[in-house]
Amino acid sequence: MRKAPIFYKISGIALVAVFALTACNLAAATSAPVSPTAAQAAAASPIPPTATQPPEATAASAPTATATVAPTATLAPTATTQQTAQVIPSVNAFCRKGPGTEYYEITYLTQGTPYNVLGRNSLNTWWLVQASANVTCWEGDSGSTQQGPVDQAPVALVPILPVTPATFVETNTCTTSALDVTFNWSAVSNVTGYRIYRNGTQITDAGATATSFSDPNAPRGTNLVYGLEAHNDYGVAPLITVSVPTCG
């Protein structure tokens, strides 16, 4: 009857051993995942994001290089502006209706001021310029400075002036009391009238169809020089003169 307690003791020791062994296995199983977790932590290191930073720096530098090129491109309009054809008068000069001193003055240009060139004459000695917002006229100052492609400006249309009459003759009657002088001339085209001068002073302006004039009370006792000038709205033809000897 004493064998039974011994059996139970042995069985109890065996069970304790089994539980102890099971506990050890469970502890080992519990601690085993620690090693993979550490490996995963190492794999989660911040090194990969650092490796991606150089491309970001490269991408940031590209726009900077592009931005520095843009100001260089803006220089082109400045070069174009400098190529504008202009003349700069050397003195305050009249600006006329056409390319020549026979044309009437419209305004005057200021010394040292640049004026844009719109055209030129065929001899390239007069320039059609923009005198103001609403005024264009011809400038022919021989001392003016040209800049830009002035000689490439188009040849502009020139207003037509009348020509000088081919003939201008006089007949006179000298008496003790008076001098009567009569003139005849040949008609010309593109004319609105004829001005007649005596010793440089205008004494009449005959109409466009006139071809003669009489000066019945011309001064006596001095030489007289008469001039005839055909004119229109743009200017005048060169003056033609005739002399009358002293009467009395």
Instruction: Check whether 199 has a pLDDT greater than 80.
Output: yes
Identify the H or E element spanning 204: strand 201-207
Query: Which range, of 12-21, 132-141, 192-201, 208-217, averages the lowest pLDDT?
Result: 12-21
CATH C-level class of 168-244: mainly beta
* Better pLDDT: 100 or 39: 100
User: Model pTM?
Assistant: 0.64
Is residue 112 within 8 Å of residue 145, measured between CB atoms? no
pLDDT at 68: 52
Q: Residue type at 142?
A: S
pLDDT for res 141:
86
pLDDT above 60: residue 84: yes
Q: What is the pLDDT of residue 8?
A: 46
Distance in angstroms (rounded) separating the CA atoms of residues 48 and 238:
96
Architecture of the 84-152 domain: Roll (2.30)
Query: Are the folds of 84-152 and 168-244 the same?
Result: no
Distance CA 248, CA 137 (A): 49
- Residue among 108, 173, 162, 179 at smallest CA distance from 138: 108
- Mean pLDDT calculated for residue range 141-145: 90
- Span 215-244, pLDDT tens digits: 999 999 999 999 999 999 999 999 999 999
pLDDT value of residue 186:
97
Q: How far apart are CA 129 and CA 139, in angstroms?
A: 7
- The answer to whether the beta carbons of residues 153 and 85 sit under 8 Å apart is yes
Report d(CA 199, CA 227) in Å as an integer: 8
pLDDT above 50 for 184: yes
- What is residue 74's predicted lDDT score, i.e. its pLDDT? 56
Query: Taking the domains of the chain in order of start, what are their residue ranges?
Result: 3-73, 84-152, 168-244
pLDDT beyond 90 at 77? no
